[in-house]
Amino acid sequence: MLQNRCDVHTHTLYSRHAYSTVRENVLAAREAGLELLGVTDHFSDMLFPNTDLTRGSLRDYQHFINMRVWPRTWEGIRLLHGAEADIRTLDGRLFGQGIEVAEDITGRSLSAAATLYDRVVAGCDYVIASVHYKEFAAGASLAQTTQMYLGALAQPKVLVLGHTGRAGVPFDVDEVVGEAARRHKLIEINEHSLEISRRDGRTWTSCSKIAEKCAELGCQIVVNTDAHICPSIGRTPNALEMLERIHFPQELVATRSAEAFLSAMATTGLEVPGF
């Protein structure tokens, strides 16, 4: 039976449509027998729709700025700081890139110019890049949507491509998975996607094909809940069932242990202070 001891895509109250605190998620992770928890709240204008496309405010996103105050080990659970950033263009740019910020969270002028993205992810251990708004890809060719994911993978802080099987944007699976493997980056198998797709099976089929390609090309995956409430933390029965059906190799599951996930991070140059 496949082992999964980490959950590195989870949300807190900050994400607005999620319902638990960081500590509630940590306690749920301990109850589920996890070794490591990653908190990856949404970095997206779905939270603050009035975010200006050229000039942003750190005040709306200060949740990410102050994550350094969280204990690195809490209730026996190793805790990582992350963000789930929206992919917003066909060249793979993420939300906040190109949005200038000139003031800190108190309104004082910043000494150096930077983008909202750069300010936010400076305090993140890693980023999950996901598509939530697919309208920008309407009418795009397969080559263009494939380039969208390739561009996201090229971003230094991006470690994981999130829920590609349910995003509703077709792409060349061979090319994207192959590039992820080449860059030692990770493809997510998302429990929430499989849970909500049981009725029609289309997302299940798509995720299964992506996982099969990962196994074929030696690309590591992460098995995550995408939890929006603490009882979901660490609960991935659908994802593990699907992976076991296709005989997915345990050694390619980066979330099989805390050490395996931290090693996968380190391979891409992402080190966690104090771990």
- The span from the CA of 178 to the CA of 33, in Å, is 32
Residuewise pLDDT in 10s, the chain (275 residues): 899 999 999 999 999 999 999 999 999 999 999 999 999 999 998 998 877 666 668 889 999 999 999 999 999 999 999 999 999 999 999 999 989 998 888 889 988 889 999 999 999 999 999 999 999 999 999 999 999 999 999 999 999 999 999 999 999 999 999 999 999 999 999 999 998 866 568 899 999 999 999 999 999 999 999 999 999 999 999 999 999 999 999 999 999 999 999 999 999 999 898 77
For 231-253, letters b (16+ CB in 10 Å) and e give: ebbbbbebbbebbeeeebeeebb
In angstroms and rounded to an integer, the radius of gyration of the C-alpha atoms of the chain is 18
pTM of the predicted structure, to 2 decimals: 0.96
- pLDDT for the residue 258: 98
What does the alpha-carbon distance between residue 65 and residue 36 come to, in Å, rounded to a whole number?
21
Distance CA(178)–CA(166), nearest Å, equals 19
Give the span between the Cα atoms of 51 and 57, in whole angstroms.
8
Domains along the chain with CATH numbers: 6-267 (3.20.20.140)
Q: Report residue 80 as tokens.
A: 């990582």
In whole angstroms, give the CA distance from residue 194 to residue 209: 13
Cβ neighbours around 135 below 10 Å, total: 5
Q: Identify the pLDDT of residue 219.
A: 98
